[in-house]
Amino acid sequence: MSVSVSPASSRTASVDLRSWPDVARLPRASRLRTAAAERLVKHALGGLPLRVRLAGGGPIGRGGPLLEVRDPHAFFRRIGARGLIGFGESYMAGEWEAADLVGVMTVLAEHVGALVPGPLQRLRGAWAQRQPEGQRNTIEGSRANISHHYDLSNELFALFLDETLSYSSALFRGFPADQQLLPAAQHRKIDRLLDLAQVGEGTQLLEIGTGWGELAIRAAQRGARVLTVTLSREQQALARQRVSAAGLQDRVTVLLRDYRKVLGRFDAIVSVEMVEAVGAEFWPAYFETMDRLLAPGGRIALQAITMPHDRLLASRTTHTWIQKYIFPGGLLPSTEAIEHVVAGCTGLRIEARDGFAPHYAETLRLWRERFTERAAYVEALGFDEVFRRMWTFYLAYAEAGFRSGYLDVQQLLLTKAETEAETA
C-alpha cells in the first residue's frame, strides 16, 4: 500500500505505508505544538549562516547554503511532534530539499547547542522521545540490531565501498581525496591499527566486529592467527569467501558470535568502530570482556567515533533519527566516557589516542558520491526512493558531523600489565 504524504511530497514519489509508516503519515500534533515548533525553528534558523526558503513565505537566515522547505506545514508539524527525528523524516518524505545537503547539515551541526533554547534543553526529558526498550543490546537484542543494518545486502554495501569493503574511516596522505586513493587509505588505517597492537608472526589476534574481513586478511598475511567475530550472517558469509579466496582459511576463523561469548586468551585485540554499536548500558561489559580475553602484556587497538561529553550526557537516553532508521541501539561514546569505563571496570590502561576527523569527512564524501552515482543500481536491488533519500541523509549527516568538528574518530591503544602486581 502506498500513499502520498502531502501535495509537496508527491513531487518525489509515493511512500509505502507498510515500509515507512512514520514517513507516509504525518504525526499527530496539536495546532499549538506545531505553531510553537514553527516559531522556535524560524527563530533558530534566522540566526544561522543559512538561506531558508519556505514555500509561500519570505526567506530566513543570514546567508549561506540553501534549505528549501516545500511543505512548511508538514515540516513544522513533524518537528513539533518528533524533534530531530521529524526533521529527518521530513527529508525522507521530500518535504524539504537542499542542493548542498552537507553544507546545510554542517551549519546545523556547528550550532547544535543553540538550536533548542536553554530552558527547553533542560526539560529535554519531558518532550524528547525515549529509546525503545526493544533496542537494548542484550545478547538477542544485539543480533537484531546488527542485522537491521549489516544484513541489508552485501551487494548494497559493495556499490559504494571500495574494493577492500572497509566500512570505517580511511586514513589519507592528503586532501582532497579521490576514489582511486581509497583502497590504499583503508589499508593505511588497518596497518596503523595492526602496528599499534604489534600484530605479527605468531600473534594470536581477536577481532571484535569482522566487517567483510579485510583486517583479518591483512593480519593473517602478517603471520597472525585470527579469530574474528560478527553478528551479521551476510558479513560472515562474504568474509569467509574472501578469506578462502586469499588462501588464508587455515589462519582465519570467522564466527557468528557475540563478543561476550568468546572464550580464550589473545595476545592482541582489534576492534574497529564497534563500540558505537554497544550502547552505554553495555560499555562496561565490552571493555571487561576485552580485559578478560587479553593475555598479560597484551595490547588492544580500537578505532572509535566519539562525540562531545556534554552532548552525550544530554542525549544518551533519548531516541534519535540515526537510532530509529540506521543503527538501532547505537550510541557514540565520548572520550571521557571511554576513559571512565576503562579506569573503573578494567585493569587496562589507555596509552595513546590519535584523532583524525577530517579523514572521516573525506571517506564519507567518497561513499556518498558513489552512492548517489549508483542510485539506479540501488533501485535495481529493490531499495525504494525513501530508502535512497534516507541513506543520502545518513551519509550527509555523518559527513557534516566530522566537517563541523562535532564528531571525531580516534585510534586508541590500550595495554594490560605483564603481571597483576603492576596494576595494583
Residue 73 CA to residue 93 CA, distance in Å, equals 13
Contact 291, 349 (CB under 8 A): no
Q: Is the peptide bond before 308 cis (omega within 30 degrees of 0)?
A: no
Considering only the C-alpha atoms of the chain, give the largest distance between any 2 of them, rounded to a whole number of Å: 72
Measured in whole angstroms, how far is the alpha carbon of residue 190 from the centre of its chain? Answer: 19
What is the per-residue burial (b if ≥16 Cβ within 10 Å, else e) of 259-268?
bbebeeebbb
122-137: average pLDDT = 65
For residues 132 and 294, the model is more confident at 294
410-419: average pLDDT = 95
Measured in whole angstroms, how far is the alpha carbon of residue 47 from the centre of its chain? Answer: 29
Residue 216 CA to residue 222 CA, distance in Å, equals 10
Residue 118, pLDDT score: 55
Residue 112, pLDDT score: 83
18-31: average pLDDT = 95
Q: Do strands 349-355 and 408-415 pair parallel, antiparallel, or not at all (unpaired)?
A: antiparallel
pLDDT tens for 379-406 read 999 999 999 999 999 999 999 999 999 9
pLDDT band of 124, cuts 50, 70, 90: low
151-165: average pLDDT = 97
Indicate whether 176 pLDDT > 80: yes
pLDDT tens for 307-333 read 999 999 988 888 999 999 999 999 999
Residue 10 CA to residue 46 CA, distance in Å, equals 28
SS3 274: coil
298: cell is 597484551
H or E segment at 139? Answer: helix 139-150
Q: Which residues pair with 2 in a beta bridge?
A: 16
pLDDT band of 56, cuts 50, 70, 90: confident
Helix (DSSP H) and strand (DSSP E) numbers for the chain: 18, 13
Residue 253, pLDDT score: 98
Q: Domains for the chain: give ranges and CATH numbers.
A: 2-129 (no CATH), 135-423 (3.40.50.150)
Indicate whether 205 pLDDT > 50: yes
Residue 35 CA to residue 31 CA, distance in Å, equals 6
Mean pLDDT of the chain: 92
Rounded CA Rg of the chain: 22
Which of 5-9, 40-44, 71-75, 416-420 is the least confident region? 5-9
Single-letter code of the amino acid located at 375: A
Q: Which residues pair with 305 in a beta bridge?
A: 409
Query: Who's near 90: CB < 8 A, 6+ residues apart?
Result: 74, 75, 78, 79, 96
DSSP string, 293-356: HEEEEEEEEEEEEE--HHHHHHHTTB--HHHHHT-TT--PPPHHHHHHHHHHH-S-EEEEEEE-
Contact 359, 182 (CB under 8 A): no
Contact 359, 184 (CB under 8 A): no
Residue 11, pLDDT score: 44
Single-letter code of the amino acid located at 251: R
Residue among 340, 282, 274, 332 at smallest CA distance from 301: 274
Residue 317, pLDDT score: 85
Contact 229, 262 (CB under 8 A): yes
Residue 240, pLDDT score: 98
pLDDT tens for 76-103 read 999 999 999 999 999 999 999 999 999 9
Which of 139-148, 154-163, 204-213, 235-244 is the least confident region? 139-148
Q: Which residues pair with 89 in a beta bridge?
A: none
Indicate whether 216 pLDDT > 70: yes
Residues in the chain: 424
For residues 116 and 227, the model is more confident at 227
Indicate whether 260 pLDDT > 50: yes
Contact 41, 33 (CB under 8 A): no
Residue 4, pLDDT score: 44
Residue 1, pLDDT score: 52
Task: Give φ, ψ of 192 to 5 degrees.
Answer: -65, -40
Residue 307, pLDDT score: 97
Whether the predicted model's global pTM rises above the 0.85 cut: yes
pLDDT band of 125, cuts 50, 70, 90: low
H or E segment at 302? Answer: strand 294-306
Three-state SS for 28-96 is: CCCHHHHHHHHHHHHHHHHCCCCEEEECCCCEECCCCCEEEECCHHHHHHHHHHHHHHHHHHHHHCCCE
pLDDT band of 12, cuts 50, 70, 90: very low
Indicate whether 346 pLDDT > 60: yes
Residue 318 CA to residue 368 CA, distance in Å, equals 27
Residue among 409, 404, 412 at smallest CA distance from 169: 409
Residue 420, pLDDT score: 59
Contact 95, 5 (CB under 8 A): yes
Which of 108-117, 185-194, 235-244, 255-264 is the least confident region? 108-117
Residue 304 CA to residue 272 CA, distance in Å, equals 7
Task: Give φ, ψ of 410 to 5 degrees.
Answer: -135, 150
